[in-house]
Structure 1
Amino acid sequence: MRPSHLITHLISLTGVLAFLWLHIPLPWLFGPMFACLLAALFGVKLSVIKPLSEGMRTILGVAVGASVTTAFFVALPGIWDTLILIPFMVIGIGVMGVWYFQRFAGYDFATSYYASMPGGLQDMIAFGEEAGGNVRAISLIHATRVLVIVVILPLILTQFWDANLDTPPGASVTTFELDQIAILTICGLAGWRIAKRIGMFGSSILGPLILTAIASLAGILHTRPPAEAIWAAQYFIAIGIGAKYVGITSKELRHDVVAGLGFCVVLLVLTSVVVLGVFALDLAPPMETILSLAPGGQAELVVLALIVGADMGFVVAHHLFRIFFVILGAPVIAKLFDPKQTG
């Protein structure tokens, strides 16, 4: 472990302790995130152990997969009226994003397009780099999008729907049977490694999700991961968000981050219009609607859904559909927007 790793965790744990002491909700998420963000802006060299961070994301895949039951598949036809909104939202976000970034931030098409797409960060960076975009700008804009969504959503959920963010996201590990812990661990690690070996995108979440869903449907798994595991996942996700700002220059702060913040306003307006329409037509419960349609990171929104006790099947179905649509469709739609694109 390098000195920068120790410094990163010292700063992160200080953030956790400070938020616990101040009784601020979501201390294992907000504490490390804001501590690392502040440290990065002051030039502290933070770093993450990538395999460990990826491994922690498997916990979320396992948590989602454990929620997949026969009832989940039975319920899928009943949520088509909100699922069908996802492609229209993604296309709308893409059109508005490209217009906004080119007109107001002066980015080229590739940077504007892949910075707009609400999909997996690593995938959008890879597509953007192949298309000749500004990788650093794409990374900072996506990090800013996720940061803003993660901060604003809990405020909305607590102010309007009295969501309890202090409820443990599961039972304590001390109450678990050893066979259930073993199955959860095997599904997480084996699912991740198998998915990574076959080149599946989002392997650290989707691989464990699929394997755990199989175990759940087979009747050998009866529980989600313990609260301590979910807190650990929050901790490492938070570090990952804050650390993305390491090495940021004043020019990047003024241009890329400010452009990202402006785009967040565009996203919030578009999302609010769609969400209010769903409310007006009474198509889905309010809390689940917001968590499902918010254009945040899949991992971060899964964490929030777990904490507030939302219908995991409903939320996950929408985010999986969004991720699949963006990852599979982004390069194709990019060529329609700009035939000169080769990526």
Structure 2
Amino acid sequence: MNFRELTRVALTLLAALAAAQLCVWLHTPIPWMLGPLLATAVASVLGAPTRSAPLLRYGGQWVIGAALGLYFTPQVGELVVSLWWAIALAVLWALALGALFGLWLQRQHVADFAHLPPGAWRATSYFASAIGGASEMTLLAERHGARTDLVAAAHSVRLVIVVVSVPFAMQWAQNYWGLQVDARLLPGARVAQWPGLLWLALATAGGALLMIWFKRTNPWFMGALLVSMVLTLSGVNWSAVPTALSNAAQLVIGVSLGVRFQREFVHTAPRWLASVATGTVVMMLLSLGFGLFLAHTTGLHPATLILGTSPGGIAEMAITAKVLQLGVPVVTAFQVCRLVAVLILVGPIYKWVGGRNQAA
């Protein structure tokens, strides 16, 4: 990275920091992520030379993963295991919801993209609608000959709509109803201390590097999360993650989401983006109903299950649960299991459905 690029990164971070401080002053939910996300997105669309550094993004994911794992105490572990059936239902729900969304997109815009081969168009609509990680779904779409720009744009729109709207809705509900979740869902280590923080950093970094070596998806987040989770489940509580470090991690994650919205983004098939936005809102409302159903059947707080089944990103929904204290470990367990299942299953399902269509 040359001096010019470093300057762009530094200026972007300064703008993001100012936006975060403004959101803190305004008492918005998750201000350290929402402020940078919105400020960076608006600046990028207006043509400002914003830039995110991959190393900072990885560091943010590492910190958040380590912090979330601290919530998985032995008592929480027993609770999550007892919810295996609800997590399985949530996975099936996400797969079905994404598939239906994809069918709707495919039929809604078939005339707009008639120039694409049928296989490429089917892959585009299918992977654009799958409720999984944006980078992973874009990579799978590329392997199947899809329009990757449309797929990436669809996931960016979905993530931003969910990340912006859900925290505000949860904060409003919390202020209106005074939401209080199960006291069992608090972290094991609650005080940052030395040298425990160093041991936690070294162990979680080792987990991330191991995930990289095995070429796993989202290694800095998943590796740190899994190591921190195993340590806490084993009764090892070295240290909490300092609030300032957690805030900085949220800031760089917000920036990494916001810089996706370059000026060219708004000119990428406006009708397609409008349909994705509409479909995202519908999926959120349907997932709200499904989350309430699971809350009724499990006896857990509705806010926790709504976040757990929301069609957002795992880190963003878990951060919302952490900042608003709405059941971090359950939300994380639901979102992680969905992410893994979608990554494993969407490809084979696409091939299976495609084979059946060709046979017919």
Asked if 1:93 is matched to 2:106, the reply is no
Asked if 1:75 corresponds to 2:79, the answer is: yes
Shift of 1:122: 1.3
* Residue aligning to 2:116: none
Change (3 A) 1:264 1:72: same
Question: What is the CA deviation profile of residues 264-297 of structure 1, one whole-angstrom value per residue up to 9, with x for unaligned ones?
Answer: 1231232123123234446421111111110100
Which residue of the partner structure matches residue 209 of structure 1? 225
Give the 5 Å matches for 1:233-272. 233-252=249-268, 254-272=270-288
1:157 corresponds, among 170, 190, 200, to: 170
Q: Percent identity?
A: 22
Corresponding residue to 2:214 among 176, 198, 201: 198
- Counterpart code for 1:228: A
Report whether the alignment pairs 1:29 with 2:33. Answer: yes
Alignment CA distance shift 1:103-1:8 (3 Å) = same
Q: CA deviation at 1:332?
A: 0.4
Change (3 A) 1:127 1:76: same
Amino acid at match of 2:261: Y
The answer to whether the 8 A contact 1:20-1:27 is kept is yes
Corresponding residue for 2:68?
A: 64
Out of 245, 270, 274, the position equivalent to 1:229 is 245
What corresponds to 1:142 in structure 2? 155
**Residues 11-61 of structure 1, C-alpha deviations (whole Å, 9 max, x = no match):** 212312332344434321121111111111111222111022112101121
Q: How far apart, in 2, do the equivalents of 1:227 and 1:132 lie?
A: 44
Q: Which amino acid aligns with 1:239?
A: V
Separation (CA, whole Å) in 2 of partners of 1:63 and 1:249: 33
Give the superposition deviation at 1:112: 0.8
The correspondence for 2:202, drawn from 183, 186, 203, is 186
2:314 corresponds to which residue? 298
Distance 2:298 2:208 in 1: 38
Distance 1:78-1:282 versus aligned 2 partners, 3 A rule: closer
Distance (Å, rounded) in 1 between the aligned partners of 2:319 and 2:265: 31
* Residues in 2 aligned to 1:58 and 1:178: alpha-carbon distance in whole angstroms: 19
Give the residue type in structure 1 aligned to 2:270. Answer: R
Does the aligned pair in 2 maintain the 1:40–1:247 contact within 8 Å? yes
- Flag as ranges the 4+ runs of structure 1 deviating above 3 A: 20-25, 217-220, 279-283
SS in 2 for 1:338: helix
Determine whether 1:114 maps to 2:127: yes
Q: Secondary structure at the match of 2:96?
A: helix
TM-score (norm 1): 0.89
Contact 1:275 1:293 (8 Å CA) reproduced: yes
Change (3 A) 1:76 1:275: closer
1:36-55 alignment to 2 at 5 Å? 36-55=40-59
Code of the residue aligned with 1:329 in structure 2: it is L
Give the Cα separation in 1 of the matches to 2:296 and 2:78.
25
Letter of the structure 2 residue corresponding to residue 259 of structure 1? S
Task: Tell me whether 288-297 or 303-312 shows the greater mean CA deviation.
Answer: 303-312
Q: Does 1:131 align with 2:144?
A: yes
Distance 1:132 1:221, change over 3 A: same
- Tell me the TM-score normalized by structure 2: 0.85
The CA distance in 1 between the partners of 2:294 and 2:23, in whole Å, is: 35
Judge which range, 312-321 or 255-264, deviates more.
255-264
1:340 Cα deviation after fit: 9.2
CA distance in 2, matches of 1:132, 1:213: 38
- Where structure 2 has 5 or more consecutive residues not aligned to the other structure, the ranges are 114-120, 180-185
Contact 2:231 2:237 in 1 (8 A): yes
Measured in 1, the distance between the counterparts of 2:303 and 2:261 equals: 30
* Structure 1 runs not aligned, ≥5 long: none
- How many pairs were matched up? 336
How far does residue 64 in structure 1 lie from its aligned partner after superposition? 2.1
Residue 55 of structure 1 contacts residue 189 of structure 1 at CA under 8 Å; is this kept in 2? Answer: no
1:220 lines up with 2:224 in the alignment: no
Distance 1:40 1:105, change over 3 A: farther
Conserved in 2, the CA contact under 8 Å of 1:14 and 1:35? no
Q: Is the 8 A contact 2:153 2:265 kept in 1?
A: no
Q: CA deviation at 1:87?
A: 2.8
Tell me if the contact between 2:307 and 2:321 (Cα under 8 Å) persists in the aligned partners. yes
In 2, are the aligned partners of 1:183 and 1:221 still within 8 Å (CA)? no
Judged with a 3 Å threshold, the aligned counterparts in structure 2 of structure 1 residues 178 and 249 are, in CA distance, closer, same or farther, namely closer
